[in-house]
Structure formats: structure tokens, C-alpha cells
Structure 1
Amino acid sequence: MVNRMIIGSTERKFDNSRADILRFESRDPAFPLVVTYLTALFGFVGLLELYNPDEKGARPWAVTDVATFDGNLCNSRIIWSPHHVVEPMICNAWPRFVEFEVFKADPIPTGRKLMLGVLEKYLFNLGQSLITNFVEEYKHHLDSKYGKRSNWPPTWNFARAIRNAMAHGGQIRIDDGAVVNWHNASYSKADNGKLITDDVWPGDLLFLVKEMEREIAEIVPK
């Protein structure tokens, strides 16, 4: 296994003796959004390889080549082999599934920031598209069932706060008095102005979307 992309802490320790599986299938509501997020990121990495003067140029990823995403709030390391997603797409077909291996990882030290360099704004905008589009697509179902948005189910209420933050430059903006919680994070009006990118890492977004799918499945029949 060759790790060709790490979005997280290169020093992080994790338990590689046992992996759980995080899987999105083509019938899942967020599947097109997740595939778009991943392939856009994958394409940018290929572009960097192509134009990096210290490399021999972009080369195909083998089946055993992987990308790594750290989750800060969920204390996890996610490993993804792009092969099963990219291969059908270059043949003008949509993939049937996206699958990640998930390993428990040591907590990220408080205050540790994710240093992304040129990828920071790029990843922020990809994440904004992922979360915003999912929230906007289903918010009318939630409004119909729960009325006030502060009454939404816990994961969707948290996602709503993340979506609003992403619309305000990444800063928490809670105006309705709601307190939102998810894994190791809790936000309220007192946190307005706090940058979510210090807490919510790309691996967390993938977990968040999967939990949003589970909650919306109880509300909107397939």
C-alpha cells in the first residue's frame, strides 16, 4: 500500500489492527455529492503531480495506492483507494460505490490546525458544495416535519450550523439560540466568529454526511 495523499497529521498514531468500513452506494442520497467531492480533489492532486518540477509527471494510481483523510472530531483516520471510483468514470460510467477503511486514531491535540497550504481554500469550497447542497436538497422535508429549524434532528442541526458557517467565510453564525452538538464539538451563539476549519476536518465531513443520510432515511422514504 502506497499513501500518495495525506490530508491530516503525518505524525498521527492510529490502530491499524482493525478497520471498520464506511460505504456510500449509488442509491444513497449523498452519493453523487461524495463522488464529486472526491474526484475533484483527486483531479487536483493529479494536476499537482503533472506540473511538479521535482516529479517525473503524473502517473496512474495502482489499486493499492491510497489517500488518507483525518477526522478530528471523530478521532478517526480514513483510507481510500480511488481505483474503484475513478476506473468506471474514465470509461464514461458512474461508480457503484465508494468505500473507505476507518481506523481509530489518537485525538488531535487541542489547538492543532490542519495546515493545507494551497489546498485550504480549494478544500473549503469543495466541502461547502458537499454540505450546502445536501442541506438545501432536504431542508424542506425537515421544515415540514419539525417546523423550527432548531428542532431538526441532532446531526442535521449540526450540519445546518456548518452550512451557515461556510456561507460566512467559515465562521460560526448561529442566530436562533440553537446549541448544536456532534461528536466532540458543541457550538452555540457564544461561538459566533469561531472558524469551523479548526475543528471540522475533511474526514469529519465524510462521517457527517453518512450520519445525515441515516437520519434523513427515517424521514424521507426511498
Structure 2
Amino acid sequence: MGRSENHIRLLIGRMEDKPAHIPNTPASFLVHYSDEYFYELSAYLTSIASFLHIPEFYKDREVAGWRPDDCAVFQSRRAGKFIAWKPYETLSQLAHNLNPPDFEFVEIDASYSEDNSPAQFGAISHLFDSYGRSLITSYYQKQQYRLREYYGPIASWPEVWRFGKIVRDAMAHNGRVHISDERLGATWRGLSYSIADNGREVLNGDLLTGDLIYLLRDLDNEPR
């Protein structure tokens, strides 16, 4: 008999904060192929979902494809939520060399502590860091020239895009804040960075995987 409930097969975040279950509810939000971060997000999520098979095989000596009710769950500190995604349709399409469908995310309210200590991924942390750096950097590099044409100097950009630039620059400096101009600080969803924060850890510290998805969504909603 098949499982009637969604199953958390992969959690990227703090295990202490893991949600009890994933509700069978309609998607809270979609990422459509017309959204300009769709393909960067596709590469990011596919890499994470595909990586799961390595520990499953080498630790348990067995591996199964993602089932329709299997969920990958990502934590967002800034939104105070977990977001769940079912990789089955995406990977099935890509396996047949077809474009993936829209990404459907279900939001689950989080009730975890204010502890902002970094998420611990052990020896594989460099992989997730690399995936995150590629996601943010690729999207930013594709958009920066349009932003300069539309808004002018960086100091004139919308605050969310100034924040996005800070995160992108951190990706080039070992995942840590690196601001060279004191005028270019910014705040996003209650998290502020200024030149005084140089050296502060961004990835897996202030921002988790779910935060990167929300950040791209907010960036893409700005006119340019």
C-alpha cells in the first residue's frame, strides 16, 4: 500500500527545528519558467536532490528514485518558515531531457528558537556552499547590467537589490560579508548588513537554503 502522507526525505537546515509533518495543501507559491531565476533555481535544486543518492547508496547500499510524495524541505530563518518541494516531477522530466515543470513550494510555519548558530553539514558543507554561491552569483551577474541601466549607480538601487549585491559579494569572499563602501549597507527581512559586519558569515549562518529561495523571489519581483 502506498503512503498517504508526504514524507520528508531530505532536510536542509537545523535538525533541531525539523517540522513534524508536511501538510497536503495546495502550493503556497510557484516559480514559473518565465521567472528569470527559474533555470538557476532548477540547477540548484536538481543538484541538491541528486546528491541525496550518494549517501543513500554508500551508507545503506540501496537507493531509490524520488517518489511522488517524497519532500525536500528547506529552512528559512528570515521568513520564519520551512518550504517543502517534491522533486519527483522535476527529475522525471529532466531524465527524459524535457524542461522541468513549475516549482511548487508549500510553506510551513516554523516555531523554532532564536538560536542563529550556523547549520552544521559536516564534511559536505563545502558542496552546499558551492551550490548556494553558484545560485546567487549566476542570477546576479545576469541581472546587474539591466539594473545599472534602469536605476543607475548601486546607491540608487532598491534596497533588496543592494542587499542582493552584498550577498553576491560575500559569495566571492568565502561566504562572508565584504562591503567596501559604507554607503552601501542594506536590510532585507529584518537582517541588516553594513561595513561594520565585514567578515560575518552569511551562508548557513544568517541565510539558509530557504532564505536564498525567498531572496531570489524578492529580487525578481523588483522592476528593471
What TM-score, normalized by structure 2, do the two folds share?
A: 0.90
Secondary structure, counterpart of 1:26 in structure 2 = coil
CA contact (8 A) 1:21 1:102 kept: yes
1:73 to 68, 72, 78: 78
Aligned mates of 1:205, 1:92 — CA distance in 2 = 27
Cα distance in 1 for partners of 2:113, 2:153 equals: 34
Mapped to 2, the partners of 1:14 and 1:102 lie a distance apart of: 11
After TM superposition, give the deviation of residue 109 of structure 1 in Å: 2.1
Q: Which residue of 2 aligns with 1:166?
A: 171
Work out the CA distance in 2 between the residues paired with 1:140 and 1:80. 32
- Displacement of 1:157 in angstroms is 1.0
When residues 108 and 131 of structure 1 are mapped into structure 2, their CA distance, relative to the original with a 3 A threshold, is: farther
TM-score of the aligned structures, taking structure 1 as reference length: 0.90
Shift, 1:108, TM fit: 4.2
CA contact (8 A) 1:70 1:202 kept: yes
- State the shift of 1:207 in Å: 0.5
For residues 152 and 108 of structure 1, what CA distance do their matches in structure 2 show? Answer: 33
2 CA distance for matches of 1:13 and 1:126? Answer: 22
Matched position secondary structure for 2:216: helix
**Aligned residue runs from structure 1 range 54-93, under 5 A:** 55-93=60-98
SS in 2 for 1:4: strand
CA distance in 1, matches of 2:61, 2:70: 17
Superposed CA offset, 1:61-88 (max 9, x none): 2111111110011111011110121111
What is the aligned partner in structure 2 of residue 209 from structure 1? 216
Q: Give the aligned residue type for 1:121.
A: H
Secondary structure of the 1:133 match is helix
The counterpart of 1:118, out of the listed 109, 117, 123, is 123
**Distance change in 2, residues 1:13/1:96 (3 Å):** closer
Structure 1's 181 and 107: CA in aligned 2 closer, same or farther, altered over 3 A? Answer: farther
Question: Please, which of 26, 30, 50 is the counterpart of residue 23 of structure 1?
Answer: 30
Instruction: Could you tell me which runs of 5 or more consecutive residues in structure 2 were left unpaired when the two chains were aligned.
Output: 1-5
How large is the Cα RMSD of the aligned pairs? 1.8
